Structure 1
Amino acid sequence: MNTSAGAGRASGRRVNLNSDYRPLRERVRDEIRERIINGDYAPGARIIEREIADELGVSRIPIRESLRMLEIEGFVAVLPRKGVVVKQLSESDVVKLFEVREALEVCATRLAASNASDADITRLRKLLERAEQADAKGAVDKVQQANVGFHDELIKICGNEILGGLLEPLQGRLHWLFRQHAHPGDLVAEHRALLEAVASRDPERATEAAMAHVQTNRERALKWLFHTEEKAEEA
């Protein structure tokens, strides 16, 4: 089996790196990150600079720069004798990820409850309804997209650009994590509770709903990835 990330590319999606005016390394980073999150590059797969450079039609310099950025974000690792590989999260990595998520996302949801307009609530409700409809049809990818959109919209509503900037790379890693193990329909009911809490304009209720959401997801992720319940029973 070929475990290089370049060889594993199978979506056939046309790549357009000229869609905005940001530095090329940032556009390349976003493309590689999206492939990792979508599962095109599996955990442990090697990322070959030459192959991706040829595919994207760019030199190896922006590829190398983008991979350094993704290493800082926690998506890839550099291993002796293997080079750059998609990172495989350890149990400790996941615990730490959720510790940071709890601090930031609970704060964002609390602020959203204080700042949300009627139009904001309507956008959240439409995203949730889209996820529910897709889940009823078994359209997993569309449920994923709506769930991601729900969280991104919630962060926008909080009105704190600094907090949003801190959450952006974290959200990417969480979306990646959930694509690896979670059924997206599991999140829909929890998002319903978040929506109603934000719509109530009650910061305390929103805090409790966000805390419950993060804790439930942490337990689910640890169970699916590391069989934590089985370890507890054996102990």
Structure 2
Amino acid sequence: MPSTDTPDDSLSTALEHSLASAALEHRSLREQVADVIRERIVTGDLAPGTRLVERTLAEKLGVSRVPVRDALHQLHGEGFLTQESRSGMVVTSIDRRMVEELFDVREALEVLGVRQAAERATPAQIQQLRAELEGSAAALRRGDTDAFDAFNRRFHDLLNEMADNATLAMIMQPLAGRLRWLLGQNQDGARMQAEHAELYEAIAAGDTERATAAARSHVHSSRELAFEVLYPDAGEVTQ
């Protein structure tokens, strides 16, 4: 297994930024360490199979081993890490079946959330959703991939907020990182932008049927594109 090889300054700087926001959010050091490691997994900086050494991470992050140990256990519970007898904690390898299951769950939850967003969204939320959509369009035109991804994450976060469903939010929370990882597999920016525009138009019109159909189509499209990236020789995708 490869060892943790994220540069010291990258991890420590990320933790500094996280701690700065934590002061306002009253979040624990364990949560901040978990956020930093989770982000590295979601973005692919820590690849599947990477071994995470508690002592090494503590040194790189500039914290004691206790919050690192607690963060690793949290990420293990979220499914990002796997406990192996000889290697300790390693980044979970995501196989085809797991990806299929994640898309099945994403479809069920996202279709529900979008339908409720179309029913419950306020004018201010619709205006904000449009701003995120316009921001991603501008980022796509100038070829700014990082900004495009950030706008799209906020677009989806806002959809969840607009649904105004506390139970749905509670179910989505532990899945958020893995669902973000799925979103990152969609590399067709123009297609994603067009699908988000259709979602926006349906929600702005309060058309629940159109919004539901757009959400389901968006998930199916994302599934197809993700499998083309992850398993190019695997054949047809089941939906």
Of 58-67 and 155-164, more deviation after overlay is shown by 58-67
Distance in 2 (CA, whole Å) between partners of 1:213 and 1:106 is 10
Structure 2 SS opposite 1:124: helix
| Residue in 2 that maps onto 1:15 | 15
Structure 1 SS opposite 2:50: coil
| Residue in 1 that maps onto 2:201 | 196
The aligned amino acid for 1:99 is D
Distance in 1 (CA, whole Å) between partners of 2:7 and 2:189 is 23
CA contact (8 A) 1:181 1:225 kept: no
Cα 1:42–1:180 change in 2 (3 A) is farther
Residue-by-residue CA offset, 1:152-205 (whole Å, 9 max, x unaligned): 011001111221121123232122234356344442111111111111101111
> TM (normalized to structure 1)?
0.89
Distance in 2 (CA, whole Å) between partners of 1:77 and 1:183 is 31
Matched, 1:127 2:132: yes
Question: Identity of paired residues, percent?
Answer: 42
Matched, 1:73 2:78: yes
Distance in 1 (CA, whole Å) between partners of 2:86 and 2:99 is 26
| Residue in 2 that maps onto 1:222 | 227
Residue-by-residue CA offset, 1:114-168 (whole Å, 9 max, x unaligned): 0111111110111011111111111111100000010001100111122112112
Which of 211, 215, 225 is 2:216 aligned to?
211
Distance in 2 (CA, whole Å) between partners of 1:52 and 1:163 is 33
Residue-by-residue CA offset, 1:1-39 (whole Å, 9 max, x unaligned): x9322x223773352236232232222111211122223
Task: Within 5 Å, give how 1:102-117 maps onto structure 2.
Answer: 102-117=107-122
Give unpaired runs (5+ residues) of structure 2: none
Cα 1:157–1:58 change in 2 (3 A) is same
CA contact (8 A) 1:143 1:185 kept: no
Matched, 1:40 2:45: yes
Distance in 1 (CA, whole Å) between partners of 2:204 and 2:229 is 32
RMSD: 2.1
| Residue in 1 that maps onto 2:94 | 89
Distance in 1 (CA, whole Å) between partners of 2:30 and 2:214 is 38
Q: How far does residue 74 in structure 1 lie from its aligned partner after superposition?
A: 1.7
CA contact (8 A) 1:45 1:86 kept: yes
Q: How far does residue 89 in structure 1 lie from its aligned partner after superposition?
A: 0.8
| Residue in 2 that maps onto 1:3 | 2
Give unpaired runs (5+ residues) of structure 1: none
CA contact (8 A) 2:6 2:46 kept: yes
How many residue pairs align between the two structures? 230
Distance in 1 (CA, whole Å) between partners of 2:81 and 2:55 is 17
Q: How far does residue 103 in structure 1 lie from its aligned partner after superposition?
A: 1.1
